[in-house]
Amino acid sequence: MKRRRFILLCGGASSGALSVGTGAFSSMEAERGVSVDVVGDDEAFVGYDAADRTVPADENDDGTIDLVTVENRFAGDVKLEITNVEIGVNPQSGDDGWPMIELAETDREKFKPGSTDVIRGEVHCSEGGGTSQVEVTVTVEATGLVATLFGDTREFEVTCIEPVSEVTFRGSGNADANAGGRTFEAEAWFVEPGDDTDLDDARVEGSFSWDTGKKLKHSFDGNSSGNLVAVYFTETNQTFVHPEYDVDDGELPDSWGTGAGQEIVDGSYQSSSESTGSTEDGNNSNNDDNGDSDNNGNNDDNGD
């Protein structure tokens, strides 16, 4: 059983009551005359909120993730300040020490009642993904108060998802993905034949669960009219666009060949291979009774 202890140190004369959560503090120092009540975490004066995170889906714009949010729930003008943060990372068995998480450097300031301060981290993933259990212990201070909110009973997980290696556009609104047969939440983006539109204006269908062991249209039951111009994976935050789409100029192709898609990375794209010369007529009339994905083996000009 995890031990919870409260340390009261005598200071200057004062009086009042302090409520602490059942799992919040490992130690606390308070001035003389302050009484301590153990209450539910939702009622504690210092809130500690952590949840499982997935990378890259939960990343902020700067590449960090939110680890713990500390909330000041005191009344009046009691200002809190985070003065120390310690992190423990325990990779799960078989994950070869990955992912690793480092605390992101930041200049911290005092925050008033009703406000929060967020502890962020930088996650380093291996190519094969993985999961680590994370403990974050936080020390907060206010006038006459020092409290340590421990993380050993508040463990959460940070998971790196192995990215999708490649998407091959097969024609007739179909595609397959090289993703080890895993299932991902995905979106399919369509444009109507003859449209001269930007990628951002494409019609988005989904999200839907794509079993990448099969081709896209066997997991997708939305409106597949038009030309499939892009596929977006929610968990990995990856977008693959049609091989003949001009990402730099935002121009749609005159003819829709088949081939490996271009992955958009930081506003640019990576072209995996050259597309073939076969065309997609945009009516998506071809049927595929097999449904199995060959994971980007031979190109399929018939959309199967």
Spell out the domain ranges in the chain: 13-160, 166-271
- % of the chain residues with pLDDT over 90: 47
pTM for this one?
0.66
Q: How confident is the model at residue 175 (pLDDT cuts 50, 70, 90)?
A: very high
Rg, C-alpha atoms of the chain: 26
Residue 204 corresponds to which tokens in the numbers above? 């988005």
189/196 Cα distance (integer angstroms):
15
Tell the residue number behind the tokens 């936080």, with chain if given.
138
284/171 Cα distance (integer angstroms):
8
Superfamily of domain 13-160: Immunoglobulins (2.60.40.10)
Q: How confident is the model at residue 95 (pLDDT cuts 50, 70, 90)?
A: low
> What secondary structure letter does DSSP report for 261?
P
- % of the chain residues with pLDDT over 70: 71
Residues forming a β-bridge with 73: none
The pLDDT tens digits for 244-289 are: 888 777 777 777 889 999 998 765 554 443 444 444 444 443 444 4
Q: How confident is the model at residue 116 (pLDDT cuts 50, 70, 90)?
A: very high
| Average pLDDT score, the chain | 78
